[in-house]
């Protein structure tokens, strides 16, 4: 086998691996989903609720899909999808504004069909947004919690802490998913053009990474790409990059005044 054929074989093999990695990460959800499950289980326990669920937004279909649920009345809800722009969850998702409803059945059209699909129609709902740096990515709902002292304001605040935990987990699992996508997309492009030198391959990886950042303004992969490319710099230049990043890190770690928290 000559060198070209060997390289082609290796690329084919890597692409096969990347494709399977991408599929398996869908079939067997990464660690993040286990954390989401623990978040809803903890929410059920803390609120003494009949159910708690986390619905995440799927941009392709513009629907909120319940990914995890817990509690006696929660099991039937997993996989349920509903429009991202209507109903209580849709409002909370759209506006990022937490909301508690004491008696949801007062609105005859409110999510009743969706709720009946799960075999459970709640009386009360706490709904809080799951927010990342660019806006809502989902909604955490707690159904029929037994509010201590009936203070749903306090409950909304508490539920927001759970939602924040979920957001941290979702963010971490997105990096895992994007990494698989980066590998898959890069190899797919290399497979179709096998005459690239090292600089061109680096450029392909860089270009692919740039497409992973969301339209909403997240720049995580752009930052990762810039830092990764800087590894080819001279020792002096690398030293400068480290100094700049260090200065930036110290500046962003400085607490903002309370009235200007961003």
Which residues are CB-neighbours of 187 under 8 A, at least 6 positions away? 11, 14, 15, 18
Distance in angstroms (rounded) separating the CA atoms of residues 183 and 179: 6
Q: Which of 110, 112, 171, 204 binds other proteins (CB under 8 A)?
A: 110
Name which of 28 and 215 has its Cβ closer to other proteins. 215
Among 158, 183, 205, 209, which residue sits at the site for other proteins (rule: CB under 8 A)? 158
Could you say which of 216, 234, 249, 251 contacts other proteins (CB under 8 A)? 216
Q: Closest separation between CB of residue 97 and other proteins, Å?
A: 5
- If one asks whether residue 62 binds other proteins (CB under 8 A), the answer comes out as yes
230 half-sphere exposure, CB direction, 13 A CA radius: 17
CB of 142 to other proteins, least distance (A): 12
61 binds other proteins (CB under 8 A): no
**Piece of the chain touching other proteins by CB under 8 A; list 23-31, 84-92, 183-191, 229-237:** 84-92
Note whether 168 binds other proteins by CB under 8 A: no
Q: How many residues line the site for other proteins (CB under 8 A)?
A: 51
Q: Which of 9, 24, 61, 85 binds other proteins (CB under 8 A)?
A: 85
**Least Cβ distance, residue 10 to other proteins (angstroms):** 42
Residue 122 burial by Cβ neighbours in a 10 Å radius (0-12, 13-18, 19+): buried
| Token pair listed for 65 | 């899909």
For the residues of 126-185, what is the DSSP string, one character each? EEEEEEETTEEEEEEEEES---GGG-HHHHHHHHHHHHHHHHHHHHHHHHHHHHHHHHHH
Of positions 99, 201, 220, 230, contacts other proteins by CB under 8 A: 99
Tell me if 142 sits within 8 A of 49, measured CB to CB: yes
Between CA 107 and CA 64 the distance in angstroms is: 20
Based on CB atoms, which residue is closest to other proteins, 140 or 183? 140
Six-digit token string for 29: 């959800």
Determine which residue in the list 9, 61, 102, 237 makes contact with other proteins, applying CB under 8 A: 102
CB nearer to other proteins: pick between 101 and 204: 101
Bridge partner residues of 233 (DSSP): none
Residues 6+ apart with CB under 8 A from 201: 190
Of the candidate residues 72, 154, 194, 211, the single one contacting other proteins (CB under 8 A): 154
Q: How far is CA 50 from the centre of its chain?
A: 25
The answer to whether residue 4 forms part of the interface with other proteins (CB under 8 A) is no
Applying CB under 8 A, the residues found at the interface with other proteins are 62, 83-87, 90-91, 93-104, 106-110, 128-129, 131, 133-136, 150-154, 156-158, 160-161, 163-164, 216-217, 258-262
């Amino acid at each position: 086998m000559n060198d070209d054929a060997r390289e082609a074989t290796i690329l084919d093999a890597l692409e096969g691996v990347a494709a399977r990695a991408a599929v398996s990460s869908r079939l067997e959800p990464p660690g993040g989903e286990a954390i989401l499950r623990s978040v809803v289980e903890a929410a059920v326990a803390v609120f003494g609720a009949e159910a708690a669920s986390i619905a995440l937004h799927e941009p392709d279909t513009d629907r909120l899909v319940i990914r995890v649920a817990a509690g006696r009345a929660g099991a039937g809800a997993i996989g349920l999808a509903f429009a991202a722009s209507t109903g209580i969850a849709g409002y909370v998702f759209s506006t990022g504004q937490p909301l508690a409803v004491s008696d949801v059945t007062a609105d005859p059209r409110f999510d009743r069909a969706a709720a009946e699909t799960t075999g459970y129609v709640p009386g009360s709902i706490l709904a809080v947004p799951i927010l990342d740096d660019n806006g809502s990515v989902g909604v955490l709902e707690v159904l029929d919690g037994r509010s201590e002292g009936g203070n749903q304001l306090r409950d909304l605040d508490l539920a927001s802490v759970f939602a924040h935990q979920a957001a941290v987990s979702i963010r971490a699992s997105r990096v895992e998913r994007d990494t698989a996508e980066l590998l898959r997309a890069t190899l797919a492009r290399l497979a179709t053009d096998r005459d690239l030198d090292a600089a061109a391959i680096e450029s392909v990886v860089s270009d692919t990474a740039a497409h992973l950042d969301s339209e909403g303004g997240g720049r995580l992969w752009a930052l990762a790409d810039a830092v990764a490319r800087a590894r080819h710099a001279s020792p002096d230049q690398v030293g400068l990059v480290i100094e700049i990043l260090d200065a930036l890190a110290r500046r962003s770690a400085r607490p903002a005044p309370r009235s200007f928290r961003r």
